[in-house]
Chains A and B, each alone.
Chain A
Amino acid sequence: GAGVSQSPSNKVTEKGKDVELRCDPISGHTALYWYRQSLGQGLEFLIYFQGNSAPDKSGLPSDRFSAERTGGSVSTLTIQRTQQEDSAVYLCASSQRGGRETQYFGPGTRLLVL
């Protein structure tokens, strides 16, 4: 079946602009995660959604970052007033129920802030 999809695949923006990144999880998966991977770095947890529960936002690096998940499916990660240090690959993953369930990753959005 279809895997996790993300759009856009690449995004180039100017410093100070806002960007929106989209994630479509695997159908039926209740858990959705956002991670960030900078060059030469491991994956950094950003935010976690599980069903209708309040999201775990503990990984968001600043208040310029926010995310929402509408209807328990599609999620949007928004970065306001982008900075050069926001340049990274933003990865979305979903799992069936969270917990120890396998997380399946999307192809990522490569963000470059000039």
Chain B
Amino acid sequence: QKEVEQNSGPLSVPEGAIASLNCTYSDRVSQSFFWYRQYSGKSPELIMSIYSNGDKEDGRFTAQLNKASQYVSLLIRDSQPSDSATYLCAGDTGTASKLTFGTGTRLQVTL
């Protein structure tokens, strides 16, 4: 099993809908989790970080962490065409803050 796994997509949602992006992880990745957004040809930028079980909300974004089931998700409410990008899930192993990234899910928000 890869340490961090994501469905590559594309995930297509209509404008205004909720986009749900999911990520699962192995036992080696267990501490902190991060969602990065990467536009085509650009570098990743941090959207959300989550360290504890439960939900964390920031504007239209909600990160959810379930350590028992080893998954972390990102919900984007009221999706906009500008949200169209690849979303990278990353986790650290608790030492030296080395991040392990998934391959990313490509999100397309359609008009």
Query: Chain A: residues with CB nearer than 8 A to chain B?
Result: 31, 33, 35, 40-45, 48, 50, 56, 58-59, 91, 95, 98-108
Contacts and interface: CB of A to CB of B under 8 A. Distances in A.
Interface residues of B, number: 23
A31 B97 contact: yes
Interface of B: 4, 6, 8, 32, 42-46, 49, 51, 88, 90, 92, 96-104
B68 to A, nearest CB: 21
A42 B97 contact: no
B43 A107 contact: yes
Contact of B98 (A42, A59, A101, A104): A59
B11 to A, nearest CB: 16
Contacts, number: 56
Given A31-B97, A103-B46, 9 more contacts: A43-B44, A43-B90, A43-B99, A45-B100, A98-B96, A98-B97, A102-B49, A103-B99, A105-B43
A102 B47 CA distance: 10
B73 to A, nearest CB: 17
Nearest to A99: B97
A40 B88 CA distance: 12
Contacts of B4: 42
B42 A42 contact: no
Contacts of A44: 101
Contacts of B45: 105
Contacts of A107: 42-43
Contacts of A35: 101
Contact of A108 (B6, B43, B49, B103): B43
